[in-house]
Amino acid sequence: MRRKMLSEVDKRIIGGFATAFLLLVVTMFFSYRNMSQFRSITFEVSHTHEVLFQIEAIYSNLLEIESSRRGFLIYGDKSFEDTYKQRSKDIAVHLDSLEKLVADNARQLQSLDTLGQLIAQKIALGAVESAGIQQLTTPPNRNSLTGKQLTDGIRRISEGMKSNERDLLGKRVGLANAANRQFYQLYVAFGLIILLIFVITLYIVRSRMKERLAAERAQRQRAEAIKDLYDNAPCGYHSLDDSGNFIEINNTLLRWLGFSKEEVLHKKNFSDLLKEEEREVFKSNFQLFKEGGRADAVEFELVRSDGTSFPAILNATAVVDENGKFIKDRASIFDITARKQAEEKAHFLNAELEAFSYSVSHDLRAPLRSIDSYTKIIAEEYNDKLDDEGKRLISIVMRNAARMARLIDDLLDFSRLGRKELIKSTFNMKLLVQSVLEEMEVRNDDPRILLKNEIELDAWGDKKTIRQVWYNLISNAIKYSSKVYRAELAFGCYSEPHRQVYFIKDNGVGFDMAYYDKLFGVFQRLHSAKEYDGTGVGLALSHRIVSRHGGDIWAESSPNKGATFYFSIPTKNTKDDS
């Protein structure tokens, strides 16, 4: 099967040349046929002229015989008798030639037979007269004829034969002229058609050449653009051969390293750009890479030409031949200096934030306990001395002190999470959700709540912190569904490549997605504390737990139509940063 089909333009060009060639062959055929006809007609015309010549020669010799006979009769000179005899022989030769020439013409043969008999009688008559005989014996098959009658008969038959030949000559010349006209017309017509085809084909070829030149120009531009993209991409590109030597490298990586292309290609091994302690690691892993065909997010410390170094992350794929033999690799390198600096800064800030949160929460506990204790003393010992307004204010203080205590506890939990190590294992997510519901005393037989737990996928993660995620999500769902006639909580899951997704759906008050960006922030609330109690830390804590697992958390909702909260956890074989 052909790898590349001919285009319509190519087909037209080939078709045009094929048609022109076919017409040229047809023209050559008609030329050959016309030449054959012309040669045949020329031969026939020559044949006709030869017949006329023989007839004229016979008649001319006959006239000379007649002249010799008269000279002999008048002068009695014997020399006339020699001429008579010679011309008689010549006539015999011409008659023989004429018979051969008209052998294919029955009519002419018949006339020639009569002509021969008359000539024979004429010659015989002349011979008798030359011998002095006055009378000629009549031949047994004809009546005696006088010399004049014989001569007239010979002349009449000769003219008839010449007339027949001239008619044949005219017809043959007419056929020759007609054949020439026909050939000329065909030749001109075919010539014009061939010329037109060649003109059209040349036009198409010219257009095709313009298209190809434009395509080649565009291809060169694309190649230059691709080369420019390769050489000046925002990341480094390179290829290594089977031994790990550089065979391709782009300008970006050369600028980062401080080398020229001539210094690197076919002269440096990738291990030459690594620190001493990483070289052996690269050599052993490079062999594994050639066998496996892929390397993802491998970190190295690359050494510049001046001896300084920078952190880089590498991704590569192997290029192999049809037999699976390694040819080269295609690798991209990113300078992650800025990322490393940002991570260090983030670790520093997180540590400071955690220390600050821990310190503040502990420092707040002492005065808060005092406020709570003294408020309770006032409420118990001076209850009879307080009017209703005083009692109401004391109640507000106690309620806000309790809320402040919960807020401090949540803040401590949030700060501890950053320092706590995740202990991962495989566990039954459905049973975990069920245990959280039991802990919260949410039962299937409660007429105010309808539960539907359809989780079927086990999970891989830190069971204790995932439990906290479910606790927060279920608490929110119950809280924001508390004002409907009957709360409905549905739990489910589904699988995606490299991760599993779990969700909880309620029929509560919901929220406006326009404020979605505040949903998982610390101390951010989409409903006022007067409507629904809470500290605004639960969803932020859930977000941090899921993020530490390498997953995502998100929600979908609309006002008064409930909400659905989702979170994903990577599968066991998926790399995470925890």
Query: The tokens of 296 are what?
Result: 């993802």
Q: What is the pLDDT of residue 465?
A: 84
Residue 556 lies in a domain: yes
Most confident of 160-169, 277-286, 399-408: 277-286
Domain residues for 263? 236-335
Domain finish residue from 310, 335, 360 = 335
Q: How confident is the model over 122-149, as a mean pLDDT? A: 54
pLDDT for 246 = 92
pLDDT, position 528: 44
**Co-location of 164 and 36 in the same domain:** yes
pLDDT for the residue 415: 60
Of 9-13, 70-74, 151-155, 351-355, highest mean pLDDT: 151-155
Mean pLDDT, rounded, for 538-546: 82
- Inform me whether the pLDDT recorded for 2 exceeds 80: no
Whether residue 208 is contained in a domain is answered as: no
Question: What is the model's pLDDT at position 444?
Answer: 74
pLDDT band per the 50, 70, 90 thresholds, residue 503: very high
Residue 356 lies in a domain: yes
Q: Which residue has the tokens 């002095």?
A: 132
Q: What is the dihedral of CA 253, 259, 265, 268, to 10 degrees?
A: -100
396 shares a domain with 445: no
Cite the DSSP H helix spans in 382-418: 388-417
Top pLDDT among 23 and 462 is at: 462
* Domain CATH number, residue 300: 3.30.450.20
Residues 61 and 175 in one domain: yes
Q: Are residues 310 and 406 in the same domain?
A: no
Identify whether residues 183 and 293 lie together within a single domain: no
- pLDDT tens digits, 33-42: 777 766 777 7
- What do you get for the CA distance between the two ends of the chain, in Å? 54
Assess whether 50 and 86 both reside in one domain.
yes
Residues 408 and 429 in one domain: no
Which CATH number do you get for residue 472?
3.30.565.10
Domain-terminating residue out of 335, 362, 387? 335
Verify that 469 and 575 share a domain, yes or no.
Answer: yes
User: 376-390, 411-425, 554-568: which range is least confident on average?
Assistant: 411-425
Residue type, 16: G
Domain for residue 215, yes or no? no
132: pLDDT confidence band, cut at 50, 70 and 90?
low
**Do 488 and 511 lie in a common domain?**
yes
With both helix axes pointing from N to C terminus, report the angle between 147-231 and 106-130 in degrees, rounded to the nearest 10: 140
Task: Give the pLDDT confidence of 83-106 residue by residue, as tens digits.
Answer: 777 877 888 887 888 788 778 888
User: Is the model more confident about 34 or about 388?
Assistant: 388
Per-residue pLDDT at 429: 93
**Is 219 part of any domain?**
no
pLDDT at 6: 57
- At residue 364 the predicted structure's pLDDT band, cuts being 50, 70 and 90, is low
| 487 and 574 together in one domain | yes
Please check the confidence at residue 120 and state whether its pLDDT lies above 60: yes
Same domain, 475 and 543: yes
Helix (H, G, I), strand (E, B) or coil at 194: helix
Determine if the pTM surpasses 0.75.
Answer: no
Distance CA 194, CA 394 (A): 113
Q: Specify the CATH number for the domain of residue 403.
A: 1.10.287
* Residues 529-557: b if buried by 16+ CB within 10 A, e if exposed: eeebebbbbbbbbbbbbbebbbbebbbeb
- Number of compact structural domains in the chain: 4
Of 301, 318, 335, which marks where a domain is finished? 335
**226 assigned to some structural domain:** no
Q: Are residues 476 and 353 in the same domain?
A: no
